Chains A and B, each alone.
Chain A
Amino acid sequence: MTNLRTILLVDDDPNDVELTLEALSEINLANQVTVAQDGVEAMEYLRCEGKFKERKKENPAVIMLDIKMPKMDGLEVLHAIRNDEHFSKIPVVMMTSSHEESDLKKCYEFGTNAFVVKPVDSKEFIHAVKQVALFWALINELPKE
């Protein structure tokens, strides 16, 4: 089971992280979930640098990416991922509080796979996270070679 690929959750808000992890736990997902506090850390994870130096060199199954973050925001991360040949195929789901159409447009321009507005209602929120994880991490998981 350890060979299932990681889900990378990038969010600076510890509350959001906790609630998202909680939601993920509800579907008994076997995948490991790694949290990056901001864009910089997310890129470090992908490139196996900094505190992720020792990790197994494998791309995550999906990246759940917040937009508004310090240092390097979600749009920059998305842009960087799509322009790096090693990461460009990784599914990226934007998870954000923002309703703004401009954000939505930009994300799709940069090549996100999905754009999810985090619902205020907690039940809806849990449902949304579950759907994202199910679809991108499991159903879309490739068969072992």
Chain B
Amino acid sequence: MNTDLSSRRVPRALSVSIIAVICAILCGGYYFYRYQKVNLTEAKRNELSAIADLKRSQIVDWRNERMKDGVIIQNNPLINYTIQSFLQSPADVRTKNDILMWLNVRKSTYRYLSAMLCDTSGKILLSTEQNDSISLNTQCAVHDAVLSRSILFTDLHQIAGSTVIHLDIIIPVFDLRKSKKNVTAVVLLRVDPETYLYPLLKSWPIPGNSFESFILRRDGDSVLYLSELRHKKNTALRFRLAVTEEHLPAAVAVRTGERYYEGIDYRGISVVSVTRMIPGTSWYLIVKMDADELFAPLQRELQIAIFFSLLLIISFVSTVGFILRSQRAEYYRSQYHFELQRKQAEESLRQSEQFLKETQKIAGLGSYVLNLSTGRWTSSSMLDDIFGIDETYPRTVEGWASLLHPEWRETMTNYLTNDVVGRRGRFDKEYKIIRKNDGAERWVHGLGKLDFDENNQPTAMIGTISDITGRKIAENALELSEKKYRTLHESMIDGFVSVGMDGRLIEFNEVYRTMLGYSEAELMQLSYIDITPQQWHEYETGIVEHQVLKRGYSDLYQKEYRRKDGTIVPVELHTVLIRDDLGNPQFMWAIVRDITEHKRSEEKMKESHALLKIAERKAKLGGWSVNLEDNLCYWSEEVAAIHEMPFGFVPRVEEGINFYAPEWREKITRVFTDCAEKGISYDEEMEIITPTGKKVWVQTIGEAVRNDKGKIIKVHGAFQDISIRKKEEESLQLHSLRLKNMIQIDKSILLALESPEEIVYAAIKQMRSLLQCQRVSVGIFNLEKKEMMIYAAVVENEMVVQTGKVLPESIYGDIDLLRKNKMEIIEDESKVPSPSSVNMMLQAEGLQSFINVALVSELEMYGVMNIGWVEPKIITVNERDIAGEVASQITIAIEKARLLKETKRYAAELEARVIQRTVQLEEANKELEAFSYSVSHDLRAPLRHVGGYVNLLSKYFPDALPEQGKHYLSSITDSVQQMGTLIDDLLQFSRTSRSEMKMVKVDMREMVADIVQSYHQECPKRSIEWTIGPLPAIVCDSPMMKLVWTNLLSNAVKFTKPRENARIEIGIADNTAEYIFSVRDNGVGFDMRYADKLFGVFQRLHSKSEFEGTGIGLANVHRIVLRHGGRIWAEAELNNGATFSFTLPKRKD
């Protein structure tokens, strides 16, 4: 165990190798970083070049497009023509306007700053902008363009006194019609770089924080930036730096042309850049980005490299460290175990010494020491004898437990662990064991006390065990006999009492005490005379004197006690006299039984016997017995009564059997014999016939009675009159059958409404089986033809009734009588004095009795149902009811079928009519549409032609007509115009009634305000005072409603024209059902006599010269209001204003 710690030091070789590994990791990290840097620089350079190329091509494309604009302008013949015309006659306003319009179109389409037409010297002739001017540079460029006759671009520049940067495109224009191409004018388009060029430079195709691109050109000794920079404001055409700047990418670009360069930009920050030249210009395009951003990802790579290197180093070092540590820990652990074992050895030595000492002290007893930490115990040889064990026996707690008697095992182990060790108590217990060697049950007394260590923890238990079986047996025997006596005393269900010869109560048990209701102390003060009622004293004294004292005991006798609460308790008792050795009476014992219950049940018995008698009579139930020796039947009173024989009649068995109806005799003989011979019980329902000839249903029950030897000596049983029950059963059965049939009929009616014949057939078929009749038929009247047709029939084979056979109605005789009575019943045909023809017919068919039932509903009588039997028959109420019920079901079926048929026919008719109407309506609609279409098209065309030709006439022959003729022409023009308006209005009118309404919620106030606003603008000179009420929002067709308001308001405006101060008031009122809108004016009004003409088409109340209009407006309004479900009316007075009102219904939604 003693290991040399110095050998655990880190060996030198290990240190060297650790350092080597760390170096390798660091080198790896560094090379990784280098590799990434080269890659990244290459990638960024390519990226910047690509972006520079892309931007260059975009700028070039843009310039080319502008160039094309110029080419288009040069070659457009119309423009050319117009420009030439203008140059020839500059005073022509129309041409001038045409050119200006065209320039404006150019300007706005291509977003030029301005577009101008200049003469060849560069003077502005026309411009889209007022006060437009041309810089000197541009003027030079114009000169160049005129000379070279080609389209030129100026550089980006500003006009003196303006900050707007622009470039000009100069387009020389030739006269296309002349073969010699002389420049006649110049079109100048002023381009705003902000529209495309600058945004293009600002935009960047990939995300980045320091990307920048700009254009510049050389300007003398400096570099001039032409666009705004990202990091510096106001640089375009303002910011310049010396060409000689050494590291400035811009200066380098101007000096050396296209290249990739890493330098320091205008901010003094190191950047990487790519330069491109723009062909056709003096511009250099530079795209660049900060070196920092470029190398930002590299920073991350570096961090990753460092991080992983460190991680590797740390994990390597810690692995080595861990191995060293665990070796050291192992060494300390082994030292600890060694020390522990030594201590344990000392401890056990101390225990054994103590054990010896104790054993010597308690001689004669078995002793033990239980080591609580190991659970093992050692024993003295005495203890081994007690337990009957040898050396090999396992001396553990489990070993001790298995010695215990099974009944004690759980108790004792719990006692040991919980009570003794757990609570640190003493072990002191008597318990049973089973001796190991001979299996004998032994009682032992175990004692023990716990031993504690210095920490006050129990370490062991030392104690003795002695065998106490002998003592235990003696104790147990005593205890048992005492217990037996006590148990007997207490467990008796009867009261027990000892009485002294003076009558005092000496001893009694709990039952006795409870019986009397006194407390124990109270009873001890009383004598038995005290608790016995007066009437028993003499009787009991007699028993004591004559029986107890004389012969030493009494017979069982009954008496009463009075309880403490005064109630009486009947008892039965038996008394015994106890004498002393000398034969002198010492005291008396009595066993007392409370017989209250017994008395009560006796009473009950008597009562129930009486009740049984009554019940027997009520139930018509009696008993009988047959003594097999003499073969005589003994009947109870009730049995005799059922047989209608006097009580006391004792028939022989054969005589008894003869009371049964002949069909039952064989059966009763058999079951009785079986019972008498084999002991088989029986329970039968049979019929007997009384001497008066009455048939009675009885239930007879028989049972054999055997003697001690098992021989059958007697048969007895019960006998009951069950004719009432039988009758009820039968009628119940009948009723349920009837019910079933009715349900069946109802069901078939529901299932087969389509075919009433089938229902009726099914119904009468059911009924025939129900009524056991030979024929059922249903005839239906045809009231018009006074005929009756057999609708359905069910007959027995031999009778022929044809379904479909037609009979005259009259054969039923008085139909009205049948309808009134609903039913005609013939029980015996031959006894009818004056048979109707149908009766005779039925008789001819062999029917003797029948029921005719009218099939009558509330509406009418449909027919007759006939039910017939071949024999005369008494028809019961039941049968009559069935017939009636079935008849009403059939009536319902027929009625329903008819109604259904009617309804279907009516529905079909209605549908046909609807289809027809729809077709008509559709045709009419189509016609209307075609009509209005041709009005729209065909009516307008000739009108247009008239106007057109009048126009041509006055254009080409202005002098051919005198003044009067010209006046006529202008009248024609006016009329054409008027008719055009009229046609349009008419079309609008027809459309209002045709077009579909799109209902939306419209704010009326807003709508009206809009219209009023438009009048303000139209006639600003008029003074109109508008008053607009709180108009609601309403669900309506918005364009239509606008038409309504426009018409009404324009009318109001129109008719108030003569008023200096016009007043127009728009009001609103409402009731529960509708809104009422009104427009009141103080205009010329109208005569109410003509009010009804207001809303017709072409109705005018004013001459056209007074007020313009086609007369369709109000007709339109009227129609729209009607289509919205409202009304419209007008009130007025000539020259005193008018009020137009209309209503719109309130909608619930």
Binding site for B on A (CB under 8 A): 1, 4, 13, 15-16, 19, 22, 28, 30, 67-68, 96-100, 118-123, 125-126, 138-139, 141, 143-144
Q: Chain B's interface: helix, strand, loop or mixed, by majority?
A: helix
Given contacts A98-B933, A98-B937, contact A120 B78 (CB under 8 A): no
CA distance in complex: A119, B984 (Å): 11
CA distance in complex: A118, B940 (Å): 9
Contact of A19 among B68, B78, B937, B948 (CB under 8 A): B948
Asked whether B945 lies within 8 Å of A15 as measured between CB atoms, the reply is: yes
Given contacts A22-B952, A121-B977, A143-B68, contact A30 B78 (CB under 8 A): yes
Q: Interface code B979-1008, partner A: CB below 8 Å = 1, 0 otherwise? A: 110011001000000000000000000000
Candidate in B68, B949, B951, B952 with the most chain A CB atoms within 10 angstroms: B951
Cβ contacts under 8 Å, B977 to chain A: 120-121
CA distance in complex: A67, B940 (Å): 14
Q: B694 in the interface, Cβ–Cβ < 8 Å?
A: no
Asked whether A120 lies within 8 Å of B943 as measured between CB atoms, the reply is: yes
Q: B724 in the interface, Cβ–Cβ < 8 Å?
A: no
CA distance in complex: A119, B980 (Å): 9
Asked whether A120 lies within 8 Å of B75 as measured between CB atoms, the reply is: no
Asked whether A99 lies within 8 Å of B987 as measured between CB atoms, the reply is: yes
Q: B657 in the interface, Cβ–Cβ < 8 Å?
A: no
Question: 8 closest A-B pairs (Cβ-Cβ)?
Answer: A120-B980, A122-B951, A143-B72, A19-B948, A122-B947, A15-B945, A138-B78, A97-B940
Cβ contacts under 8 Å, A4 to chain B: 77
Q: Which residue of B lies closest to A4 (CB)?
A: B77
Cβ contacts under 8 Å, A19 to chain B: 944-945, 948-949, 952
Chain B residues 66-92 with CB under 8 Å of chain A are 68, 71-72, 75-78, 81
Q: Chain A's interface: helix, strand, loop or mixed, by majority?
A: loop
Cβ contacts under 8 Å, A141 to chain B: 76, 78
Q: Which residue of B lies closest to A3 (CB)?
A: B77
Asked whether A100 lies within 8 Å of B933 as measured between CB atoms, the reply is: yes
Q: Which residue of B lies closest to A139 (CB)?
A: B105
Contact of B944 among A99, A118, A144 (CB under 8 A): A118
Asked whether B81 lies within 8 Å of A120 as measured between CB atoms, the reply is: no
Asked whether A97 lies within 8 Å of B944 as measured between CB atoms, the reply is: yes
Binding site for A on B (CB under 8 A): 68, 71-72, 75-78, 81, 102, 105, 177, 933, 936-938, 940-945, 947-952, 973, 976-977, 979-980, 983-984, 987
Cβ contacts under 8 Å, B76 to chain A: 138, 141, 143
Asked whether A99 lies within 8 Å of B984 as measured between CB atoms, the reply is: yes
Asked whether A15 lies within 8 Å of B948 as measured between CB atoms, the reply is: yes
Contact of A13 among B941, B947, B984 (CB under 8 A): B941
CA distance in complex: A138, B1132 (Å): 58
Asked whether B937 lies within 8 Å of A97 as measured between CB atoms, the reply is: yes
Cβ contacts under 8 Å, A97 to chain B: 936-938, 940-941, 944
Cβ contacts under 8 Å, A99 to chain B: 936, 984, 987
Q: For residue A91, give the distance in angstroms from its CB to the closest CB of chain B.
A: 16
Q: For residue A145, give the distance in angstroms from its CB to the closest CB of chain B.
A: 10
CA distance in complex: A97, B933 (Å): 10
Contact of A121 among B942, B945, B976 (CB under 8 A): B976
Cβ contacts under 8 Å, B71 to chain A: 143
27 residue pairs of the A-B complex, CB under 8 angstroms, read A1-B77, A1-B177, A4-B77, A13-B945, A15-B942, A15-B948, A16-B944, A16-B945, A22-B948, A68-B938, A96-B937, A97-B938, A97-B940, A99-B936, A118-B940, A120-B940, A120-B947, A120-B977, A121-B973, A121-B980, A122-B950, A122-B973, A125-B944, A125-B948, A138-B78, A139-B102, A143-B75
Cβ contacts under 8 Å, B976 to chain A: 120-121
Q: For residue A19, give the distance in angstroms from its CB to the closest CB of chain B.
A: 4
Asked whether B944 lies within 8 Å of A120 as measured between CB atoms, the reply is: yes
Q: For residue B311, give the distance in angstroms from its CB to the closest CB of chain A.
A: 68
Q: For residue B1034, give the distance in angstroms from its CB to the closest CB of chain A.
A: 25
Asked whether A123 lies within 8 Å of B77 as measured between CB atoms, the reply is: no
Q: For residue B611, give the distance in angstroms from its CB to the closest CB of chain A.
A: 103
CA distance in complex: A120, B972 (Å): 13
Cβ contacts under 8 Å, A139 to chain B: 78, 102, 105
Cβ contacts under 8 Å, A119 to chain B: 944, 980
CA distance in complex: A119, B951 (Å): 14
Q: For residue A9, give the distance in angstroms from its CB to the closest CB of chain B.
A: 15
CA distance in complex: A15, B77 (Å): 30
Cβ contacts under 8 Å, A98 to chain B: 933, 936-937
Besides the known contacts A19-B944, A97-B938, 19 further A-B residue pairs in the complex with CB atoms under 8 A apart: A4-B77, A13-B941, A15-B949, A19-B948, A30-B78, A68-B937, A97-B936, A99-B984, A118-B941, A119-B944, A120-B980, A120-B983, A121-B947, A121-B973, A121-B977, A121-B980, A141-B76, A143-B68, A143-B72
Q: Which residue of B lies closest to A137 (CB)?
A: B78
Cβ contacts under 8 Å, B952 to chain A: 19, 22
Cβ contacts under 8 Å, A100 to chain B: 933, 936
Q: For residue B673, give the distance in angstroms from its CB to the closest CB of chain A.
A: 109
Q: For residue A68, give the distance in angstroms from its CB to the closest CB of chain B.
A: 5
Cβ contacts under 8 Å, B944 to chain A: 16, 19, 97, 118-120, 122, 125
Q: For residue A21, give the distance in angstroms from its CB to the closest CB of chain B.
A: 11
Asked whether B940 lies within 8 Å of A30 as measured between CB atoms, the reply is: no
CA distance in complex: A96, B944 (Å): 11
CA distance in complex: A98, B984 (Å): 11
Contact of B81 among A28, A143, A144 (CB under 8 A): A28
Candidate in A19, A68, A122 with the most chain B CB atoms within 10 angstroms: A122
Q: Which residue of A lies closest to B955 (CB)?
A: A22
Asked whether A125 lies within 8 Å of B75 as measured between CB atoms, the reply is: no
CA distance in complex: A66, B937 (Å): 11
Cβ contacts under 8 Å, B78 to chain A: 30, 138-139, 141
Cβ contacts under 8 Å, B979 to chain A: 120
Q: For residue A12, give the distance in angstroms from its CB to the closest CB of chain B.
A: 10
Q: For residue B110, give the distance in angstroms from its CB to the closest CB of chain A.
A: 13
CA distance in complex: A143, B65 (Å): 13
Q: For residue B994, give the distance in angstroms from its CB to the closest CB of chain A.
A: 11
Cβ contacts under 8 Å, B947 to chain A: 120-122, 125
Asked whether A122 lies within 8 Å of B77 as measured between CB atoms, the reply is: no
Cβ contacts under 8 Å, A138 to chain B: 76, 78
Q: For residue A108, give the distance in angstroms from its CB to the closest CB of chain B.
A: 18
Q: Which residue of B lies closest to A20 (CB)?
A: B948
Q: Which residue of B lies closest to A134 (CB)?
A: B78
Q: For residue A101, give the distance in angstroms from its CB to the closest CB of chain B.
A: 8
Cβ contacts under 8 Å, A67 to chain B: 937
CA distance in complex: A22, B777 (Å): 97
Cβ contacts under 8 Å, B950 to chain A: 122
CA distance in complex: A19, B945 (Å): 8
Cβ contacts under 8 Å, B68 to chain A: 143
Asked whether A30 lies within 8 Å of B937 as measured between CB atoms, the reply is: no
Candidate in A1, A118, A120 with the most chain B CB atoms within 10 angstroms: A120
Asked whether A16 lies within 8 Å of B77 as measured between CB atoms, the reply is: no
CA distance in complex: A121, B984 (Å): 13
Q: Which residue of A lies closest to B950 (CB)?
A: A122
Q: Which residue of A lies closest to B78 (CB)?
A: A138
Cβ contacts under 8 Å, A30 to chain B: 77-78, 81
Cβ contacts under 8 Å, B948 to chain A: 15, 19, 22, 122, 125
Q: For residue B1011, give the distance in angstroms from its CB to the closest CB of chain A.
A: 23
CA distance in complex: A125, B980 (Å): 13
CA distance in complex: A138, B102 (Å): 11
CA distance in complex: A98, B930 (Å): 12
Cβ contacts under 8 Å, A123 to chain B: 951
Q: For residue B522, give the distance in angstroms from its CB to the closest CB of chain A.
A: 121
CA distance in complex: A11, B942 (Å): 14
Q: Which residue of B lies closest to A67 (CB)?
A: B937
Q: For residue B66, give the distance in angstroms from its CB to the closest CB of chain A.
A: 14
Q: For residue B927, give the distance in angstroms from its CB to the closest CB of chain A.
A: 15
Q: For residue A62, give the distance in angstroms from its CB to the closest CB of chain B.
A: 14
Cβ contacts under 8 Å, B984 to chain A: 99
CA distance in complex: A118, B933 (Å): 15
Cβ contacts under 8 Å, B941 to chain A: 13, 15-16, 97, 118
CA distance in complex: A115, B979 (Å): 23
Cβ contacts under 8 Å, B77 to chain A: 1, 4, 30
